[in-house]
Structure formats: structure tokens, C-alpha cells
Amino acid sequence: MLIKSAEFVVSNSDVAKCPKSSLPEYAFIGRSNVGKSSLINMLTGRRSLAKTSGKPGKTQLINHFLINKNWHLVDLPGYGYARVSKSSKKTFQKFITQYFSYREQLVSAFVLVDIRHKPQPIDLEFMNWLGENSIPFSIIFTKADKLKPKVIERHVDDYKKVMLEFWEEMPNYFVTSSSKSIGKDDVLAYIETLNDSLK
């Protein structure tokens, strides 16, 4: 899919105030610093559309981006960041949960996971929660530029093994790098297929 336009629409902390349009949308979620905002910039080819930072906790709101005037990408705050205060952690958690529970336009979530790390309980728990709430999702492994291909393969295999303890099959997944533009075409083609299936 060619990205002809990508524009910021609105930020807010209340799912009720998200855009009212019925355009299909896709949300990026995962631990703080995993690369959600960077991935949005890589996919859209716009360097600073979504704000990124080396420090975790950069994205603090639900951010809607309108792509090709006919679908939305959503950048969310990260979960599991230990250094934000307990109360703001609770607030994030609450509006993330509300976003996923009430946003009817959401076609699929993408759960981002850093390819360098072993499966983390917080990610596994979040994916289980999505499953329990019948919210479709794919996994996006990020930062693939940091590892050699053989190691990537091994880490993905290890991840599959752990997922199969909870799931009948490994969810759909992508291996990506925002700094090297790896996985861009695959993720965009997948979104295009989903968009087409809704027509």
C-alpha cells in the first residue's frame, strides 16, 4: 500500500472523545520504549509524525493519525513503565483498557514486542486479556536491526513456544525495524488486506 497522506488528527485521554468517524483503525500497543511511535513514523514514511524519545513514557495520550484519508493509525502510551508515578500508571492503564473495550472502529491491535528480550509476563498477560475480550491482534517484533538473522529466528521460535502454552496457534506476527525499514511492506499489505475485507 502506498501512503499518500498521513496527518495527525487529535490526542486525548478519553475514548469517548476519539474521532466519531467510522473509519477502520489499527492501534499500536506494548511496553514503553518498545518503538510504537517510531513504527508509525516508519510505516508512514514521515520522520516526526509521532513523537518518539529515548526515554520511556513519551506517548501519554491516545493519538489518532489519518492515513490516505480513509483509515486511522493509533499511537498509545506504553504499559509497564516503572518510573511513572503509580497514579499516572493507573490512569494510563484505565484509558488504554477503555480504548480497547469501547472503540468499535478498532479492526485489529498490534502488540509490539522487543525482539531482543525473552517473553515478558506483562505482554503475555496483555495478549491474554485481548483474547478474553475477543479483540483481534497481531504481534510486531521490533528493533530487529539489533540482532543477527539467526538470533532473530531463535528468539521468534522461543516466543512461539511460550505462546503455544496459552494459545492454540501462534498469532499472526511481523519482524520489523524502524531504523532499517524492515517489515514495512508486510505490515502495510496486511492492513490493506484487512481494509479491503471490510468493504
Burial class of residue 83 in the structure, from the number of CB atoms within 10 Å of its CB (0-12 exposed, 13-18 middle, 19+ buried): exposed
Regarding 142 and contact with Mg ion (CB under 5 A), the answer is no
Q: Kindly state whether residue 80 participates in binding ligand GTP, applying the rule CB under 6 A.
A: no
Restricted to residues 37-66, the positions that interact with Mg ion (CB under 5 A) are: 37, 58-59
Do the Cβ atoms of 98 and 15 come closer than 8 Å?
yes
The listed partner (ligand GTP, Mg ion, none) that binds 72, CB under 5 to 8 Å by sort, is none
- Note whether 32 binds ligand GTP by CB under 6 A: yes
Hey, which residues does 140 pair with through a beta bridge?
112, 174
**From 47-55, 93-101, 123-131, 166-174, span contacting ligand GTP (CB under 6 A):** 47-55
Residue of 38, 44, 105, 195 interacting with ligand GTP (CB under 6 A):
38
Which range touches ligand GTP (CB under 6 A), out of 3-11, 89-97, 137-145, 162-170? Answer: 137-145
Q: What is the number of alpha carbons within 13 Å of residue 171 lying toward its C-beta?
A: 26
Torsions phi, psi of 16, nearest 5? Answer: -65, -20
Cβ contact 72:23 at 8 Å = yes
Which region, judged by CB under 5 A, interacts with Mg ion, from 29-37, 60-68, 83-91, 144-152?
29-37
Minimal distance, residue 58 CB to ligand GTP, in Å: 4
Question: How far is CA 188 from its chain centroid?
Answer: 13
User: What is the distance between the alpha carbons of residues 54 and 104, in angstroms, rounded to a whole number?
Assistant: 32
Q: Does 105 bind ligand GTP (CB under 6 A)?
A: no
- How far is the CA of 58 from the CAs of 53, 71, 81, 100, 102, in angstroms? 6, 24, 11, 20, 24
Using CB under 6 A as the binding rule, whether residue 37 contacts ligand GTP is answered as: yes
Residue 84 binds ligand GTP, judged by CB under 6 A: no
* Phi-psi category of residue 123: left, alpha or beta, with phi > 0 → left and psi -120 to 50 → alpha: alpha
For residue 37, the minimal CB distance to ligand GTP (Å) is 3
Chain positions contacting Mg ion, by CB under 5 A:
36-37, 58-59
Chain positions contacting ligand GTP, by CB under 6 A:
32-38, 52-54, 56-59, 77-78, 142-143, 145-146, 177-179
